[in-house]
Amino acid sequence: MTQPLPTAIIGAGPIGLAAAAHLLARGETPIILEAGPEAAASVRQWGHVRLFSPWSYLTDAPARALLEERGWVAPPDQDYPSGAELVERYLEPLSRHPRIAPHLHLERRVTGVARLGFDKMKTQGRENAPFVLTTAGPHGPERFLARAVIDASGTWRTPNPLGASGVAAAGEKQAAERLFYGIPDVLGAQRERYAGQHTLVVGSGHSAMNALLDLVQLAAQAPGTRVTWALRRANPDSVYGGGANDQLSERGALGQRLRHAVDAGLLNVRSGFRADTVEQQGAQLSVHSGAQRIDRVDRIIVATGFRPDLEMLRELRLDLDPATESPRALAPLIDPNVHSCGTVRPHGALELQQPEPGFYIVGMKSYGRAPTFLMLTGYEQVRSVVAELTGDRVAARDVQLVLPETGVCSVDSGGGCCAATPAGVSLEDFSLPASDPPPFTRVD
Ligand SMILES: Cc1cc2nc3c(=O)[nH]c(=O)nc-3n(C[C@H](O)[C@H](O)[C@H](O)COP(=O)(O)OP(=O)(O)OC[C@H]3O[C@@H](n4cnc5c(N)ncnc54)[C@H](O)[C@@H]3O)c2cc1C
């Protein structure tokens, strides 16, 4: 092998693309393997949703530096883009940048990551073997070699099921045609499916809130539209968030808008509901939680959260928290069972490291099943991870992020999460090397 191997990035979402920009800024070669036909494939699927973070929290410093080289003008800091605008004004131009585009391989879904010639059991010489990534897609199976791997594949493609136990509810698969996992565009492209129908939304996070508020708006326009919200918690008051105390005002406002809609009787609320069975009821569905039932449902929106795809990582040695499925050291900072703040103290390569040297899980996937990930967190993660991978241990350890507080802290895990800290972030400046890095190595 004559060329040094590249660092592979799985996923061209906001964090994967930022990782590429950080690698380029340090004179390294990325190779980005993206499952979708375009970069930011997951964000495109929720393009109709307005973000609760303003632009000032949504872009990464070296990525901006790359774009500015080509005359990019940053959107106004205080504006709140939709997912589609985030793609159009930032992620798409970044993915098409001449320094990034040659390294971006679309329609390559990574199905396996391993050490070349070493299955999980083999130890002797393991750390010197390159990584081999197997992909699937219209190009057929391919293999790519890499010196390090940054898994930024998110969790959007692996939603949790309707069943409250984490496995599919009885009848869930049979009812698939009437179920939607995520946030459908009920006021736009999918309006016809929901107008005049009775929709049950299951879940209590931001996705559920977005779906419920859109449906309430649809109900005001389309006669016969009914909305029911089912959540496991006994009291919906605990999900509305920090309101005016949230340092991200739009995140706080989301919960408050939902509270007003509930108080105004614009939707039915079924708290303490743990879906276990979906039954056909004539042309409609009936959803059960033990002896409780919600009848005459036409559509179900499953907004019960997401989980990381760990199947593709089976041949790697991982150390994940048994509850959150995040890197173990990160779990105490983000586990909603012990940490209610919705934000985390700064962390980087040290907390994200795995028993497999050179392999890191970053971005949304690094939070495993925990729901509170913010893009800024991911940008700081990849800054630190790339510094570590390029031997700059000082920069890798110097994590600097301060995230906006949710205003709903009830438990201080000892990490200082609940101190009143100013919102803001300090990211290092990077200068970009003039020459393009060498091409990637591929093994067919
Ligand atoms: C509706 C919604 C609103 C949000 N709003 C905010 C907000 O306002 N502020 C904020 O900070 N955060 C917000 N987030 C949280 C988070 O910042 C985003 O989800 C963000 O997109 C996460 O970036 P990511 O790069 O980690 O993952 P993703 O954006 O999910 O990108 C992962 C990429 O990997 C690809 N991929 C997946 N599997 C594979 C595979 N096996 N092989 C190859 N490629 C693969 C996907 O196609 C995708 O392009 C929001 C999330 C959602 C869902």
Backbone phi, then psi, for 384, in 5-degree steps? -70, -45
In CATH, what number does 176-302 get?
3.50.50.60
Distances (CA, A) of 73 to 65, 69, 90, 228, 411: 11, 10, 10, 43, 41
Same fold, 7-157+306-443 and 176-302: yes
Among protein residues, the one with the nearest Cα to ligand 1's atom 19 is 364
Q: What phi and psi, each to the nearest 5 degrees, are found at residue 284?
A: -115, -170
Give residue 43 CA to ligand 1 midpoint distance, Å. 6
- Which residue's CA is the closest to the ligand 1 atom numbered 14? 374
Atom of ligand 1 nearest to the CA of 108: 43
- pLDDT tens digit sequence for 192-219: 999 999 999 999 999 999 999 999 999 9
Average pLDDT of span 260-281: 96
Q: Could you tell me the two tokens for 163?
A: 């069943």
Whether pLDDT at 246 is above 80? no
Mean residue pLDDT across the chain: 89
The two beta strands, 284-289 and 277-281, are antiparallel
How far is 166 from 45, CA to CA, in rounded Å?
A: 23
Question: Looking at ligand 1, which atom is closest to the CA of residue 306?
Answer: 53
Compute, in angstroms, the gap from residue 154 CA to the centroid of ligand 1: 5
> How remote is the CA of residue 14 from the centroid of ligand 1, in Å?
7
Q: Given ligand 1 and candidates 9, 22, 43, which is best to mutate, with the most ligand atoms within 8 Å of its CB? A: 43
* Separation of alpha carbons 30 and 10, rounded Å: 10
Give the 3-state DSSP-derived string for the chain, with helices as H, strands as E and coil as C: CCCCCCEEEECCCHHHHHHHHHHHHCCCCEEEECCCCCCCHHHHHCCCCECCCCHHHCCCHHHHHHHHHCCCCCCCCCCCCEHHHHHHHHHHHHHHCCCCHHHEECCCEEEEEEECCECCCCCCCHHHCCEEEEEECCCCCEEEEECEEEECCCCCCCECCCCCCCCCCECCCCCHHHEEECCCCCCCCCHHHHCCCEEEEECCCHHHHHHHHHHHHHHHHCCCCEEEEECCCCCHHHHCCCHHHCCCHHHHHHHHHHHHHHHCCCCEEECCCCCCEEEEECCEEEEEECCEEEEEECEEEECCCECCCCHHHCCCCCCECCCCCCEHHHHHHHCCCCCCCCCCCCCCHHHHECCCCCEEECHHHHHCCCCCCCHHHHHHHHHHHHHHHCCCHHHHHCCCCECCCCCCCCCCCCCCCCCCCCCECCCCCCCCCCCCCCCCCEEC
pLDDT for res 389: 98
- Close Cβ partners of 34 (under 8 Å, ≥ 6 residues apart): 11, 12, 16, 41, 104, 105, 106, 107, 108
Ligand 1, residue 362: give the atom nearest the CA.
26
Length of the chain in residues, anyone?
Answer: 444
Mean pLDDT confidence for 228-233: 96
pLDDT tens profile 419-432? 222 232 222 222 22
Superfamily of segment(s) 7-157+306-443: FAD/NAD(P)-binding domain (3.50.50.60)
Strand arrangement of the beta sheet that strand 284-289 belongs to:
277-281, 284-289, 292-297
Where does the pLDDT of residue 189 fall: very low under 50, low under 70, confident under 90, or very high at 90 and above?
very high
**Ligand 1 mean position to 434 CA, how many Å?**
30
Task: Reply yes or no on whether the pLDDT at 361 is more than 70.
Answer: yes
Which atom of ligand 1 is closest in space to residue 250's alpha carbon?
A: 8
Phi, psi of 202 (to 5 degrees): -115, 125
Q: Which residue of 373, 381, 382, 402 sits with most ligand 1 atoms within 8 Å of its CB, as the best mutation to test the pocket?
A: 373
Q: Report which protein residue has its CA nearest ligand 1's atom 13.
A: 374
444 alpha carbon – ligand 1 mean position (Å):
29
For the cut 80, the answer to whether the pLDDT of residue 244 exceeds it is: no
C-alpha 319/C-alpha 69 separation (Å) is 40
* Ligand 1 environment, Cβ below 6 A: 10-16, 33-36, 40-43, 46, 49, 51-53, 57, 109-110, 152-154, 156-157, 183, 207, 312, 363-364, 373-375, 378
pLDDT digits over 49-91, tens only? 999 999 999 999 999 999 999 999 999 999 999 999 999 999 9
Ligand 1 atom nearest to CA at 111: 41
Dihedrals phi, psi of 361, to nearest 5 degrees = -105, 125
pLDDT reported for residue 334? 86
- Ligand 1 midpoint to CA 155 (Å): 7
Q: Which atom of ligand 1 is nearest to the CA of 33?
A: 43
Residue of minimum CA distance from atom 50 in ligand 1: 51
Distance (Å) from CA 309 to ligand 1 centroid: 13
**CA dist list (Å): 247 to 53, 202, 220:** 10, 27, 31
Any idea where the domains of the chain sit in the sequence? 7-157+306-443, 176-302
Question: Which of 331, 16, 326 lies closest to 152, judged by CA?
Answer: 16
Q: Report the nearest atom of ligand 1 relative to the CA of 110.
A: 42
**Per-residue pLDDT tens over the stretch 134-172:** 999 999 999 999 999 999 999 999 999 999 999 999 999
Best substitution site from 38, 55, 157 to test ligand 1's pocket, by max atoms within 8 Å of Cβ?
157
Residue nearest to atom 41 of ligand 1 (CA): 110
Q: Judge contact between 52 and 80, C-beta under 8 A.
A: yes
Q: In the predicted model, is pLDDT for residue 415 greater than 90?
A: no
Please give the Cα distance from 216 to 37 (Å, whole number). Answer: 33
Residue 21: what are its φ and ψ, rounded to 5°? -65, -40
Mutate to test the pocket of ligand 1, among 53, 107, 156, 369 (most ligand atoms within 8 A of CB): 156
> Quick one: pLDDT at residue 2?
59
Q: Kind of pairing, strands 148-151 and 7-10?
A: parallel
